[in-house]
Structure 1
Amino acid sequence: MGALQGKAVVITGAGRGLGREYALHAARAGAAVVVNDVYGEPAREVAALITEAGGRAEVSTRSVADAGEAAEIVDQCVRAFGTIDGLVNNAGLNYQAPPWDDDPARVRALVEVNVLGTMFTGMAALRVMRERGSGVIVNVASGALLGKRGGAAYSASKGAVASLTYSWAADLTELGIRVNAISPLAWTRMVEADRVERARLSRDLTPDLAAPLVTFLLSDRSAGVSGQLIRLRGEKLHLVRQHSVKEPVLTRPHWDVEDFAAAFDGELVPESPPAIRWKL
């Protein structure tokens, strides 16, 4: 019996790349899958592969960026399969632009998909999961949340997804609902369009390598795992620590300009931006 036997899941942005592999792997593990993608042809191709292999799949071309359409994606899962056990918020946009030349329209479109789409689809799923007292949400973040050159909008959106994950987990763990985020690295169309990523990533990091992590998180095998940001980079797996206070914590009854200057000249040692220090 597969790890997801009898479960019904929604995977957004599942027509290509990582989402496609998440859907196919979940189906092979026994899940009934709603394959959501605004591009209908690749979504139908993924669903056909699932059904031809003996699985169950539904196609949704609704946009997660619209709250009503996001709710319809979840409703379709409930109508077709009786409930929703898991949601993978994979749909996302990315582009590169210098911060002084960013396009407000592109920023808005990206945030509507990456942040609001995650929220809208998650909120709809949680209304069902809360009633039944169980469920799993897997959000897709990125190492870019630490700050990425030429990718301010994308970095900000993924930082928001991480914070959303921590907040939802705090609210929902006691209700029997688990929420985690993943930060996978794989060679996809998004990488091919990114000059920086193309230069540093190997084509050997294929999307299928990340799919078992999603299936694990959707399954009962990950019971007790919630509120985590999990990074998978080929053969390397680790957790990403949440923001926390860095020691030392200095105390004065009153802070003035000279006091701040003395602190930064002394005990408070600034670090270079994370995007410079770390391989994302």
Structure 2
Amino acid sequence: MGTLDGKAVVITGAGRGLGRAYAVHAADAGASVLVNDVDGELADEVAAGIRAAGGRAVANGDSVAELGRAAKLMEQCVAEFGKLDGLVNNAGLRYDAMPWEDDPEQIRALIEVNVLGALYCGTAAAAVMREQGGGVIVNAASFSFLGQSGAGTYAASKGAVVSMSISWAVDLAKFGIRVNAVCPLAWTRMSEADYRTRSKPEDTPDRVAPLITYLLGDRSSAVTGQVIRFTGDILHVVRQPARKEPVFTGEPWDDDDFEKAFGEFDLEIFPAERWKL
């Protein structure tokens, strides 16, 4: 028996790259998969490939950035497969620009997909899962949420995804719904265009897919509220933000007090590209 036998999942942005790998691996593990991609032809191809291999899958070509369409993804999954056990919020956009070169239209398009799309799909899925008595949401984050030169808008969007994932995990735990954010490393069309990427052609998306299948399954029942970095061979969780020492007290404060205090702080900036993993 597969680890996802009897489960029904929605995977967005599943027409190529990581999303496609997630959909195929989940189907191989026994899940019924709703394959979503704004490129409907690609979604059709992935779903057809799953069915040809003996699995169950349907395609959807709607944009997650449209509130009504995002909700209908969950409705379609329930209509086709009888329930909704998992959502993988994988759909995303990326571009690079220095702050003074950032284009408002590009900013809006990216935020609408990366942030609003994840919010729309996640809240719609949570409503269904709450009524069912449980489920799993996996959100696609990125190590760029720590800060990445030339990718401020993308980094901001993934920071939002991380924050929403932790917030949802707290709110939804009592309803049996687990939520995690995954920061993968793989060679995709998106990473190939990023001059800073540390991925190589041999870092194929299928190396990351087993983690997503694991998180969707019952054996990961103790894992929620985590930000997980996985490169295909290295796995770790990211420490949650915390107050740094030392902590100064005083009243009233003046410029001399602030200068003294900041002289004691470690103010080094850690952009994501300096991390080795």
Q: Does 1:219 align with 2:217?
A: yes
Between the aligned partners of 1:177 and 1:276, the Cα distance in structure 2 is 33
- AA in 1 matched with 2:63: S
Cα shift at 1:243: 1.2
Q: Is the 8 A contact 2:37 2:43 kept in 1?
A: yes
* Unpaired segments ≥5 residues, structure 2: none
String of CA shifts for 1:195-238, please: whole Å, max 9, x gaps: 222xx321111100000000000000100110001100231110
1:107-160 Cα offsets, whole Å, 9 max, x none, are 010000000000000111111101111100000000000111111110000000
Q: Which residue of 1 aligns with 2:272?
A: 275
Question: Contact 2:95–2:154 at 8 Å: present in 1 too?
Answer: yes
- The alpha-carbon deviation at position 249 of structure 1 amounts to 1.3
User: Aligned letter for 2:191?
Assistant: V
Deviation at residue 185 of structure 1 after TM alignment? 0.4
Q: How does 1:18-167 map to 2 (within 5 A)?
A: 18-167=18-167
State the one-letter code of the partner of 1:273: F
Q: Per the alignment, in what secondary structure is the counterpart of residue 196 of structure 1?
A: coil
Deviation at 1:248, TM superposition (A): 1.3
SS at 1:195 equivalent = coil
Q: Secondary structure at the match of 2:125?
A: helix
Are the counterparts in 2 of residues 169 and 227 from structure 1 also a CA contact under 8 Å?
yes
Cα separation, 2, equivalents of 1:243 and 1:15: 34
Cα distance in structure 2, aligned partners of 1:15 and 1:277? 31
How many Å separate the matches in 2 of 1:279 and 1:157? 22
Contact 1:34 1:59 in 2 (8 A): yes
Letter paired with 1:106: Q
- SS at structure 1 position matched to 2:196: helix
Return closer, same or farther for 1:138/1:277 CA change in 2, 3 Å cut-off.
same
Deviation at 1:279, TM superposition (A): 3.4
Contact 1:62 1:72 in 2 (8 A): no
Aligned partners of 2:8 and 2:199: how far apart in 1?
33
How big is the alpha-carbon RMSD for the aligned residues of Structure 1 and Structure 2? Answer: 1.1
Shift of residue 99 of structure 1? 1.1
**After superposition, what is the alpha-carbon deviation per residue over 1:172-197, rounded to whole angstroms, capped at 9, x for unaligned?**
11111000010000000001222222
Q: Displacement, 1:276?
A: 5.6
Aligned residue pairs total 277
Counterpart for residue 238 of structure 2: 240
Alignment TM-score, normalising by the size of structure 1:
0.97
**Cα distance between partner residues in 2 of 1:245 and 1:167:** 18
Equivalents in 1 of 2:256, 2:206: separation in Å? 55
Indicate conservation of the 8 Å contact 2:40/2:62, yes or no. Answer: no
- Give the secondary-structure state (helix, strand or coil) at the position aligned to 2:225: coil
Q: What is the DSSP-based 3-state SS (H/G/I as helix, E as strand, rest coil) of the residue aligned with 2:203?
A: coil
Matched residue, 2:194: 194
The secondary structure found in structure 1 opposite 2:109 is helix
Q: Is the 8 A contact 2:93 2:110 kept in 1?
A: yes
The residue number in structure 2 matching 1:203 is: 201
In the alignment, structure 1 segments of 5+ residues that lack a partner are none
CA deviations on 1:55-75 (whole Å, 9 max, x unpaired) are: 111100111001100001111
Equivalent residue number for residue 9 of structure 2 = 9
Taking the aligned partners of 1:83 and 1:230, their CA distance within structure 2 comes to 27
Letter in 2 for 1:264: F
| Counterpart in the other structure of 2:249 | 251
Distance 2:41 2:15 in 1: 8
User: Secondary structure of the residue that 2:241 maps to in structure 1?
Assistant: coil
**Partner residue, 2:226:** 228
TM value normalised by structure 2:
0.98
